[in-house]
Amino acid sequence: MSTAKLYSTYKTKMQKIADVKYASAVLQWDQETYLPPKGNDFRGQQIATLSEIAHQLFTDKTMGELLEELSLCEDLTSSEKRNIVLSKEDYERNIKLSAAFVRQLSETVNQSYHAWAKARKENSFALFEQPLNELIQLKRQEADMLGYEQHPYNALMNDYDKGLTVSKVDILFVELKTPLLNLLDSLKNKKSIDNSFLFQEFKKDNQWEFGLEILKRIGFDLEAGRQDISLHPFTTNFSSKDVRVTTRIDEHDFSNMTWSCLHEGGHALYEQGLPADQYGLPLGEYCSLSIHESQSRLWENCIGRGLPFWQHNFKLLTNSFPKQLKDINIEKFYKGINSVSPSLIRTEADELTYHFHVMIRYEIEKMLIEGSLPTKDIPACWNEMYQKYLGIKVPDDNRGCLQDIHWSHGSFGYFATYSLGSLYAAQLYSTIEKKYPAVSEDLTNGKINSIQDWLKKEIYCNGRYYSSEELCEKATGETLQSSYFINYATKKFSEIYL
């Protein structure tokens, strides 16, 4: 068989697997948005079946033989060769997990998610403890099956950012911790910023319409996506032409919805920008979750908490909420949305204390996966670390260890990518500013073309061709440097807290 026919067979197989995976993703999206409560059990069965089928199709012996044969072909294009290399790596990783294990994991995730939702409703970690414990045991088994060096947590982090390890993250957090603490300490003696205007009554419908308009203004294509409400904001996609975001609305906290829209909007722009002609193939997928998070943090913080962005959008804001903001000028608004103060909720944290929220989760996950922290002790450990890192007392489970959806999904190894995303975002944005010196002026005038064009060219179009570090170096000329975030944060908050 010719190379062209072999590659066509590979592409057809991969797209068939993608169809099954995305069908499962649609069911998962529905589960977190519109599923009626009585549908929980059958939905879990449906998702588990599709997960098992997708795994069986991908790990079939004929797929391994096809990939092996294609890996020896010398007349593939560079993109085709890269797809084969990445698919072969994925295949070799996936064959370490049995179809039965994949199904069991999927079923346990379904049970865990619904237990978490119930525990949230009743504000009781006890209702989540046993399902979570079962899931943690499975994730520890998964780490053993996949294999690892030095720490079992490395096997799980690798799922979210290939090559990411405990030692690498530990070093980055050491680099961050002292400068962040010093910066926070310097702000303590400054005049506090009033952000009370953000906590008035903001009607749900008004916030919803405002959020949709903001999504449009950053370039989200509503003909290739939509927004809905969920317990925890997230982004999912079924192709680059169908990308879903969700948000949540608190009628007494304007920040909750607005920066969820910007954060998830950043994720969605990345998904919508991936190459449609690579559907189902590695080059049609995102680079890593660290890079994915760089896109959400770039739009949420570097742009969405920046003065130029609001100089253009402030009129829309005041027209949408004239009563609440009648006495608020843009300077007061800008300072208010960048107020720094230790808080309980990660997704609502300021840019500086946010990293301590991540560090806490990272440390707890490491202990859970290595077995040094029993599941039942999570609340006590969580509360102790919040007192230690942020100096605040956790009043209940909902504002403590139940606030994130990640553990109910089995997403152990994810959290470090949030901080990495912030670091990548600062470095990418610094490069954009050097490339386009008028970018701030453009944002003031509502123009995002220069930003979008650069991201499409340097980030979106590459899919998984490069690793996170390789992509960063290609786009910025350097591998990841924490100094970009430290410099960005120091300059920004020193100017805000004069």
Question: Active-site positions?
Answer: 264
- Measuring CA to CA, how many Å separate 451 from each of 307, 315, 316? 16, 22, 21
Q: What region does 410 belong to: left with phi over 0, alpha with psi -120 to 50, or beta?
A: left
Round to whole Å and give the CA distance between 483 and 496. 20
Do 56 and 64 form a contact (C-beta atoms < 8 A)?
Answer: no
Q: What is the DSSP letter of 303?
A: I
DSSP string covering 266-281: HHHHHHHHS-GGGTTS
Distances (CA, A) of 74 to 68, 81, 256, 303: 13, 9, 52, 44
For CA atoms 21, 22, 25, 26, the dihedral sign is negative
- Of 212, 221, 224, 304, the closest CA to residue 249 belongs to 212
Stated as kind and residue range, the H or E segment containing 359 is helix 354-370
Q: Contact at 8 Å (CB) between 478 and 426?
A: no
Both structure tokens of 452: 């979008």
Q: Residues 226, 208: contact at Cβ < 8 Å?
A: no
Q: Are 436 and 442 in contact (CB under 8 A)?
A: yes
130/355 Cα distance (integer angstroms)? 29
CA distance 145 to 155: 9
Q: CA angle, corner 155, sides to 349 and 412, nearest 5?
A: 35
Q: Tell me whether residue 65 is exposed, middle or buried, using C-beta atoms within 10 angstroms of its C-beta: 0 to 12, 13 to 18, 19 or more.
A: exposed
Q: Strands 242-247 and 225-229: what pairing?
A: parallel
